[in-house]
Amino acid sequence: MQTSNRYILRYEGPSTMPVNDLQSIQSQVEVLNTSRKMLLIEAAPDTLTDLLQKLPEWTAKPEITHKIPLTQPVIEKRI
| Tens-place pLDDT, residues 22-69 | 999 999 999 999 999 999 999 999 999 999 999 999 999 999 888 888
pLDDT at 1: 45
CA 29, CA 40: separation in Å to the nearest integer?
Answer: 10
Instruction: State pTM to two decimals.
Output: 0.77
CA pair distance 57, 11, nearest whole angstrom: 6
Give CATH for domain 2-65: 3.30.70
CB 63 within 8 A of CB 10: no
pLDDT tens for each residue of 4-35: 699 999 999 988 899 999 999 999 999 999 99
Domain residue limits, the chain: 2-65
Sign (positive or negative) of CA dihedral 61, 41, 36, 27: positive
CA R_g for the chain: 18
